Structure 1
């Protein structure tokens, strides 16, 4: 592998086909191909699609895989403290989602289930940052009332999409909302909601329905575990009012107020900050910045300034040092603090 000096770099678009339909907003924002079956972009991804070896991995502008570049120089990319705590894993996967149809009702396993059943070091706790949404659009999160495994299994076996949707709590969302989604909690996203998603670095999803989607859930909906085992990863109890207060937050999208997007419940998994030009310097550390508005620059302690504009996605190594922004705003996604 040729040597690649760790430096802040803009990332080319990284989209590929999925089982649900996408709109044109990722292509428009990121100058990527977009297209009707490309509803996702995986940004600064060192994670592959479930069961695959390369698909999903991000490339740098020179064509090298970010995963390989980080593996060849983890100290500069991640920092010694991060490596001491997490090893050479970036600990994070960032995506853009632009569904042009409702996402199916599904959920993700937590780390203990993933270790026991899949021999993986991460589950898939995730969070959604709402960038845009049609008026009245909703997300489903959690069951309305306590369920039992047999009843859920029957709805899955009977392809009872109506029953599954009826069982969910739906919340209206708009731009500037953010929702932390614990692993195990059932969820769905309605069509037209443009999301920046942070998650643990896996591709572990269990489908409870799939009619109308380009996937065979009987074959591919249960992580090759069978639904009897896969359903053990599902949280059957509703989210409490106290939990809902903590996991749903708002931030000043399009405004001038910088700050953390999620409450501390997210901190063991990932961090996200809305940054504007008035934000204090961000400390050294691996990060992924998506510019949402403006045209300006990132000024680093130990790296060349980087000119950025709306739609640029930048991967930031630890060795670049702290940085400030000028004349633009966006979201900085980071692994847990060390």
Structure 2
């Protein structure tokens, strides 16, 4: 089964802060005026991607994970949920300031399989665009007081970003994506968000969105810790591989293809997103054209494959 990549169709999510860039920059047919997220590689029950080729065409990635473990080198007795989730986010407005729990809190309190550690590769950013990443409180008491008093300018740590920047966001990190930024997010497969501040926005009915201050105070890391990443670069024939992060839950790479590269799958399965350019992928004498906006999995049933063309990829696997 599957001597070719497993290609996936994104699931789109409407968000109050979303826009149209998933259409204008990626040429997706989007269903909402404010389309905020494309769940590109997802087996989460809240939005599983649909398989669009091969024997499982029309089924979801969730179905494949649960019923065809051989594609993921998954043993029969492995009952864990699919581990990762890949999204593209269009922040046409500021996202809420939020924080995510770790695995233990997620399982014990939120009834989710995983907590949410994530990372962001900035695909595009307007001039002066910025992220919120971390806070300035030195103790939990100081954090709670600043939240209760709404001292957001004093509390929140802001960082300007540009296309090509990479940010690692461990669980417990207060964060927000700012207006004018499009990112590719690699995260644990979790849909838990504890909202800390939402700029007092209201929906069409005049209602503010729910905040989760009790939970946010409990799960936020104090004081904020800035991760130190070691990013290795390796040349592989016509492909330059930069390891963006290798941490407990995932390893993420930036691949820059200029020419041809013959490669070997070195993890149980690879998640691949093309973020720029066009190329071909050849496996077992089958060649597929691939382009910006395509997302696929190289399953455990493929050992060797060849890429050719000029393209940029974000690639991930479980660590």
Q: TM-score, normalised by structure 2?
A: 0.84
Query: Does the 8 Å CA contact 2:273/2:313 hold for their aligned counterparts?
Result: yes
Deviations 1:163-189 (A, max 9, x none): 224311111111111010010010111
Query: Is it true that 1:102 corresponds to 2:84 in the alignment?
Result: no
Q: Note the C-alpha offset of 1:138.
A: 1.2
Distance 1:326 1:67, change over 3 A: same
Question: Could you tell me how far apart the structure 2 residues matched to 1:182 and 1:85 are?
Answer: 29
Structure with the higher helix share, 1 or 2: 1
Q: 1:78 aligns with which of 62, 72, 75?
A: 72
- Residue 175 of structure 1 corresponds to 163
1:24-43 matched pairs, under 5 angstroms = 24-26=21-23, 28-33=25-30, 35-43=32-40
- Aligned residue number for residue 252 of structure 2: 272
Alignment of 1:313 onto 2:295: yes
Per the alignment, residue 200 of structure 1 pairs with: 188
User: Hey, what does 1:292 align to over in structure 2?
Assistant: 275
| Aligned: 1:323 with 2:305 | yes
**Distance (whole Å) between structure 2 residues aligned to residue 261 and residue 34 of structure 1:** 34
CA distance in 2 between partners of 1:166 and 1:204 (Å) = 26
Query: CA–CA distance in 2 between the matches of 1:107 and 1:229?
Result: 9
Q: Larger % of strand: which?
A: 2
Shift of the alpha carbon at 1:31?
2.2
The gaps in structure 1 that reach 5 residues or longer are 50-55
Residues 99, 167 of structure 1: alpha-carbon distance in 2 compared, 3 angstrom cutoff: same
Structure 2 partner of 1:22: 19
Give the 3 Å change call, closer, same or farther, for CA 20–153 of structure 1 in structure 2.
farther
Flag the 1:189–1:229 CA change in 2: closer, same or farther, 3 A.
Answer: closer
In structure 2, runs of 5+ residues without a counterpart are: none
Bigger drift between 7-16 and 208-217 goes to 208-217
